[in-house]
């Protein structure tokens, strides 16, 4: 009778513990960098000895992998939460660009895990990697809806976005020097690929 409820409880508890472990790993990564995440450190934060973590994750890389998948999942959610986008293509692009930018700037360690191969020997699993492709698909679909079709144009857009983010994180962390350029980038891109006016900013 109580067999099923108990099993649910256990599964829930187990999942909660997994989550605590991941949260601890994120906290360390944010404070001291991705490579500062150690099993001892994580264990200490969750009130466990390091070896006990192996009851929940088969290896340290599995923890990174879960973090990687989670990060991309959260980005997907952040982008999906944008719909419905403004009817104006340029306003729609700006809204999406700002969402992406803010997601990246909110957690540089997360951005580093997602985009830069910064952990020796770590390769995301196929499942986790698929989530990053999903974001790419999402962007492509969105741009297509706005009338941007060619692969080169999509590359152009991702280049503009990642450039702004990278410069912000590298040269003005916590600031807004490149975030302020987003309306300009949107106009430049929209002009280049032939999206309708009016511009967000007045032309010079």
Cα–Cα distances (Å) from 160 to 119, 175, 184, 186, in that order, read 26, 18, 11, 9
Nearest distance from C-beta of residue 163 to a copy of itself, angstroms: 2
In terms of Cβ atoms closer than 10 Å to its own Cβ (0-12, 13-18, 19+), residue 75 is buried
Q: Does residue number 136 form part of the binding site for DNA (CB under 7 A)? A: no
List phi, psi (to 5°) of 141: -60, -45
Region binding DNA by CB under 7 A among candidate stretches 38-46, 137-145, 146-154, 192-200: 38-46
Contact present, 96 and 142 (Cβ < 8 Å): yes
Cα–Cα distances (Å) from 31 to 98, 107, 111, in that order, read 24, 10, 14
- Name residues contacting a copy of itself, limited to 27-56 (CB under 8 A): 33, 35-36
Nearest to DNA of 14, 144 (CB atom): 14
Nearest distance from C-beta of residue 19 to DNA, angstroms: 13
Among 57, 72, 101, 178, binds a copy of itself (CB under 8 A): 178
Among 127, 177, 197, 198, binds a copy of itself (CB under 8 A): 177
> Binding string, 44-63, against DNA, x = CB under 7 A?
---xxxxxx-xxx--xxx--
Q: Does residue number 9 form part of the binding site for DNA (CB under 7 A)? A: no
């Amino acid at each position: 009778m109580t067999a099923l409820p108990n099993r649910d409880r256990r599964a829930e508890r187990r999942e909660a513990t997994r989550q605590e472990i991941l949260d601890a790993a994120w906290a360390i990564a944010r404070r001291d960098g991705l490579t500062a995440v150690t099993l001892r450190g994580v264990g200490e934060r969750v009130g466990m000895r390091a070896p006990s973590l192996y009851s929940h994750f088969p290896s340290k890389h599995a923890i990174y992998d879960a973090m990687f998948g989670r990060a991309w999942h959260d980005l997907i959610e952040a982008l999906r939460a944008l719909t419905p986008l403004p009817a104006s293509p340029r306003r729609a692009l700006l809204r999406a660009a700002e969402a992406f930018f803010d997601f990246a700037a909110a957690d540089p360690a997360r951005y580093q895990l997602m985009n830069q191969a910064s952990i020796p020997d770590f390769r995301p699993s196929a499942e986790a990697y698929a989530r990053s492709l999903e974001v790419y698909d999402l962007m492509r679909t969105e741009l297509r809806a706005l009338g941007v079709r060619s692969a080169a144009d999509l590359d152009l857009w991702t280049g503009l976005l990642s450039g702004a983010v990278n410069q912000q994180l590298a040269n003005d962390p916590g600031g807004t020097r490149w975030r302020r350029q987003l309306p300009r980038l949107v106009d430049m891109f929209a002009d280049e690929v032939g999206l309708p006016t009016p511009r967000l900013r007045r032309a010079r």
